[in-house]
Amino acid sequence: MNDTVVPGRGDKGLLRNRVVEVENLTIRFGDFTAVDGVSFSVRKGEIFGFLGANGAGKTTTIRMLCGLLAPTSGVVRVGGLDFDDGGNGIKSIVGYMSQKFTLYDDLTVGENLDFAAGLRKLPAAAAEKRRAELFGMTGFDRPLTAKVSDLPGGIKQELALAAAMLHDPEIVFLDEPTSGVSPAARARFWGLIRRITAVGKTVIVTTHYMDEAEQCGRIALMRAGRIIALGSPDELKDSAFPGPMAEVDFQGSDPAAPIERLRKAPGLLALSPHGMRWHAAFSEGALMDAALSALPVSVRVRKIKPSLEDVFIRLAGGAQ
Amino acid sequence: MTSFSPHRAFAVARKEVMHILRDPFTLALALGLPVMLVTFFGYAIDFEVKDIRLAVYDRDGGPAARRLKEIFSASGYFRPVEPEAAAGPIGMLDSGRASAALFLEPGFSRTIKGGGEAPAQFVLDGSDNSKAAAVAGYLPGIAGAARLRLSGPGGGEPFYAETRFLYNHELNSRWFTVPGLSAIIIGLLAILLTALTVAREWENGSMELLLSTPVRPLEIMAGKLVPYGVLVLAGVVFVYLSSRLVFGVPFEGGHLLYLAACVLFITAALSQGLLISVLARQQQVAMQFALITGLLPSMLLSGFIFPVESMPRFFRALTMLLAPRWFMAAVRGITLKGADLSELSEPFLALGLLAAGMLALALKKFKTDLEP
């Protein structure tokens, strides 16, 4: 399962557009290998997502790419720079927004942005111009004198993004940017991400929301420090489920016996519960039809397209 | 590679000042502690011992005995209480109804009158160490006065012992303690406030934001230490002004020298706070560490309350490694004795070494902690 095909690596023409290149990246903390021989590259203007459970190594990978952690071994090149100077070169050309809300609650919007500008040594006029641009893009309409602690969660995230992008970085790293905000705010934030990439910037984002992963150009699926699959959402679905998939709804009848029979059906690739229903994937349509027709008549069956969640469960082993 | 940017350090400092102005706890601590300590030590706590209850067992009843009693009560240190025959002197001391007892044997007055030496026995409750020491200090003075007055002018040149206290003639305990309060304020405020500031950044995740920018550890450190250094220095100025204006404490030495001692000690204390913050990373833990390593040495091992000279050998050796002890020595030397740098070379050298050592240690730990 680990030798999953990695689609999308063959297009050599895009080589010069690669703004992030990572080869065999490994980091160990004592005996624990948090990231284990990871290789991938990210193209300019792409939304590149890391999907995986907590502890899969997403955040650690991103932190190495931002110059926050030194890799134990492997090559990191971000915007043509490597880690040789302790990450300081990388830090000055990327923007990073961490999982936790990292602005200061007791300071105002303006003070937080001024601080970010000060750390980046931006001249006041440039910072002000850039702030206006970012506010225009994000639709941020709170006064500069508003205290950050008074802002709602989604607005805070937008402000944190503005602070991370004040120095106009070409590459923006977002580590679970929407954790803890409302669904509406999440949707708005992803609209923002698409607007950022529309002007040619690259966004690298981690998430464990499947619906967010669907919006990425490409996704690296991580488990236990390794990338177990990489590709666009459709490519991942196609490679994980080459055949058709059906949703099986037992409508209240006892599923135990039919599920047992279904498990032994020829051509079954995957069978997993989704709430009250089950998803069954087969290698071929004919084999699926045969297996499903053997189910009791009370069971309702319909063909579905696999979701990224199915892919994730199949490749990352679900809860195991 | 390590290019220190004053611009970035200033950005950190400005942000830190805004934190201080917004945080009621920091402000209250920084402004309230000096006021509280000065009031407390200046008014409430008095290390001078007065009105010691003295039970006089006068078995003589003569004129000399009466006069001796008057001398004791006129000294202001003693207040005679009625001796209880039933309880006896030891009983009175045991029950706390008296702290000292004076025995005058029959024939006391007669011997004095005859020009001889008459013994008077003085019994003192030694269970309160500091009180006993103070009383023992008063005795020679009283004995001298008694000798002078009892033997009379006719007895030729009277001999008496006199203890003279240099530098603080009145042995005014406020002169001694109030200047020393700057040690407590620096030791507590500087260590506690810096210990909290870095731990707070770790706790709420804003350290990530700092580290994701090109800001260098040295810039963060400078930006954090300078505002708190100024804040603590303001507390020292408050102690200085209140000790001069309210308590009339003399200031014999040079102000620049005093400032230098403060700056050295503040540097050592801020560095210690930073070190704690880096090690603890949590405000709760940092606060406890800061209180233990900040307040206790300043209070107990600096000579502020207990003289270093009378400590057990181990603690005396330990104080050599503690900046508060040297700062206290320097401050008292400057304020009360008017000592100059050459006379205070030892405490200044020690303070300088400790400050430099602590700063280097904090910086090293801070750097290795922050750098990837």
Each residue's pLDDT tens digit, B218-227? 899 899 999 9
3-state SS, residue B344: coil
Examine the domain organization and report whether A111 and A199 are in the same domain. Answer: yes
Examine the domain organization and report whether A176 and A99 are in the same domain. Answer: yes
Q: What is the mean pLDDT of residues B97-125?
A: 79
Q: Side chain identity at A308, as an amino acid letter? A: L
**Interatomic CA distance for residues A133 and B326, integer angstroms:** 56
How much is the pLDDT for A235? 94
The A-side interface with B (CB below 8 A) comprises 66-70, 83, 85-88, 91-92, 96, 98-107, 111, 114-121, 163-164
How far away is chain A from the Cα of B20, in angstroms, using its nearest Cα? 10
Split at pLDDT 50, 70, 90, the class of B30 is confident
Q: Which residues of B touch A83 (CB under 8 A)?
A: 372
**Can you tell me which residue has the tokens 């189910």?**
A295
**Can you tell me which residue has the tokens 């904090």?**
B362
How much is the pLDDT for A208? 85
Examine the domain organization and report whether A148 and A178 are in the same domain. Answer: yes
The B-side interface with A (CB below 8 A) comprises 1, 5, 7-8, 10-12, 14-15, 18-19, 22-23, 204-206, 208-215, 371-372
Asked if residue A3 is part of any domain, the answer here is no
- Dihedral (CA of B219, B222, B225, B230) sign: negative
Interface with A, mutate which of B202, B213, B219, B220 (most A CBs under 10 A): B213
Domain boundary pick from A237, A255, A286: A237
Share of chain B above pLDDT 90, in %: 17
Interface with B, mutate which of A72, A102, A105, A174 (most B CBs under 10 A): A102
Split at pLDDT 50, 70, 90, the class of B93 is confident
Asked if residue A5 is part of any domain, the answer here is no
Higher pLDDT, residue A97 or A252: A97
Taking a C-beta distance cutoff of 8 angstroms, is the pair B162, B144 a contact? Answer: yes
**Interface ipTM above 0.85:** no
**Can you tell me which residue has the tokens 């999907």?**
A51
How much is the pLDDT for A7? 44
Examine the domain organization and report whether A94 and A231 are in the same domain. Answer: yes
Q: What is the mean pLDDT of residues B47-69?
A: 79
Share of chain B above pLDDT 70, in %: 88
Q: Nearest chain B residue to A90 by CA: give it.
A: B214
Can you give the three-state secondary structure of B128-147, one letter per residue? CHHHHHHHHHHHHHHHHHHH
Q: What is the mean pLDDT of residues A220-225?
A: 92
Number of other CB atoms surrounding residue B14 within 10 Å? 16
**Domain holding A252: CATH number?**
3.30.70
Token pair of B261, please?
Answer: 């001692």
3-state SS, residue A50: strand
Examine the domain organization and report whether A35 and A124 are in the same domain. Answer: yes
How far away is chain B from the Cα of A85, in angstroms, using its nearest Cα? 7
Examine the domain organization and report whether A192 and A89 are in the same domain. Answer: yes
Name which of B11, B19, B23 is nearest A118 (Cβ-Cβ).
B11
Full set of structural domains in chain B with CATH: 6-45+173-370 (no CATH), 52-155 (3.40.1710.10)
Asked if residue A8 is part of any domain, the answer here is no
**Domain holding A179: CATH number?**
3.40.50.300
Interface with A, mutate which of B8, B209, B216, B368 (most A CBs under 10 A): B209
How much is the pLDDT for B101? 83
**Interatomic CA distance for residues A107 and A160, integer angstroms:** 13
Q: Nearest chain A residue to B10 by CA: give it.
A: A118
DSSP A305: P
Domain boundary pick from A237, A271, A306: A237
Residue B191: CB partners within 8 Å, gap ≥ 6?
Answer: B269, B270, B272, B273, B276, B290, B293, B294
Taking CB atoms and an 8 Å limit, are B8 and A69 in contact across chains? Answer: no
Which domain, by its residues, includes A281?
241-316
Phi-psi region of A39 (alpha: psi -120 to 50; beta: other; left: phi over 0): beta
Could you give the C-alpha distances from A288 to A127, A230, A249, A266, in angstroms and in order?
A: 60, 27, 15, 8
Examine the domain organization and report whether A254 and A222 are in the same domain. Answer: no
Mean pLDDT (chain A, rounded): 88
pLDDT tens readout for residues B269-292: 999 998 998 888 888 999 898 888
Helix (H) and strand (E) counts in chain A:
11, 13
**Interatomic CA distance for residues A68 and B211, integer angstroms:** 7
pLDDT tens readout for residues A68-120: 888 999 999 998 888 877 778 888 899 999 888 788 999 999 999 999 999 99
How much is the pLDDT for A11? 45
Taking a C-beta distance cutoff of 8 angstroms, is the pair A231, A219 a contact? Answer: yes
Asked if residue A134 is part of any domain, the answer here is yes
Domain boundary pick from A210, A237, A264: A237
Examine the domain organization and report whether A284 and A156 are in the same domain. Answer: no
Asked if residue A67 is part of any domain, the answer here is yes
Closest alpha carbon to B183 in B171, B172, B173, B191: B191
Asked if residue A64 is part of any domain, the answer here is yes
Give burial (CB, 10 Å; 0-12/13-18/19+) of B115. Answer: exposed
Taking a C-beta distance cutoff of 8 angstroms, is the pair A269, A241 a contact? Answer: yes
Q: What is the mean pLDDT of residues B31-55?
A: 77
Dmax (CA) for chain A in angstroms is 72
Asked if residue A217 is part of any domain, the answer here is yes
**Interatomic CA distance for residues B102 and B72, integer angstroms:** 10
How much is the pLDDT for A250? 87
Taking CB atoms and an 8 Å limit, are A118 and B211 in contact across chains? Answer: no
Residue A226: CB partners within 8 Å, gap ≥ 6?
Answer: A2, A36, A37, A38, A57
Give burial (CB, 10 Å; 0-12/13-18/19+) of B3. Answer: exposed
Q: Which residues of A touch B25 (CB under 8 A)?
A: none
Examine the domain organization and report whether A104 and A232 are in the same domain. Answer: yes
Could you tell me where the DSSP H helices lie in chain B?
6-22, 24-39, 63-74, 88-95, 108-113, 129-151, 173-185, 191-203, 206-211, 217-245, 255-280, 283-290, 296-300, 313-319, 323-332, 345-370
How much is the pLDDT for B327? 92
Q: How many domains does chain A have?
A: 2
Q: What is the mean pLDDT of residues B160-183?
A: 62
Split at pLDDT 50, 70, 90, the class of B340 is confident
Examine the domain organization and report whether A27 and A81 are in the same domain. Answer: yes
Number of other CB atoms surrounding residue B108 within 10 Å? 22
Asked if residue A43 is part of any domain, the answer here is yes
**Interatomic CA distance for residues B341 and B331, integer angstroms:** 11
Taking a C-beta distance cutoff of 8 angstroms, is the pair B150, B229 a contact? Answer: no
Examine the domain organization and report whether A260 and A155 are in the same domain. Answer: no
pLDDT for residue B168 is more than 70: no
**Interatomic CA distance for residues A148 and B160, integer angstroms:** 76
How far out from the chain centre does Cα B331 lie? Answer: 11
Taking CB atoms and an 8 Å limit, are A103 and B206 in contact across chains? Answer: yes
Q: Which residues of A touch B223 (CB under 8 A)?
A: none
**Interatomic CA distance for residues A15 and A201, integer angstroms:** 17
Higher pLDDT, residue A220 or B125: A220
Examine the domain organization and report whether A112 and A230 are in the same domain. Answer: yes
Half-sphere exposure of B219 (CA within 13 A, CB side): 24
pLDDT tens readout for residues A146-201: 999 999 888 888 899 999 999 999 999 999 998 888 888 889 899 999 999 999 99
**Can you tell me which residue has the tokens 């009175």?**
B92
**Interatomic CA distance for residues B179 and B38, integer angstroms:** 9
**Interatomic CA distance for residues A312 and A279, integer angstroms:** 13
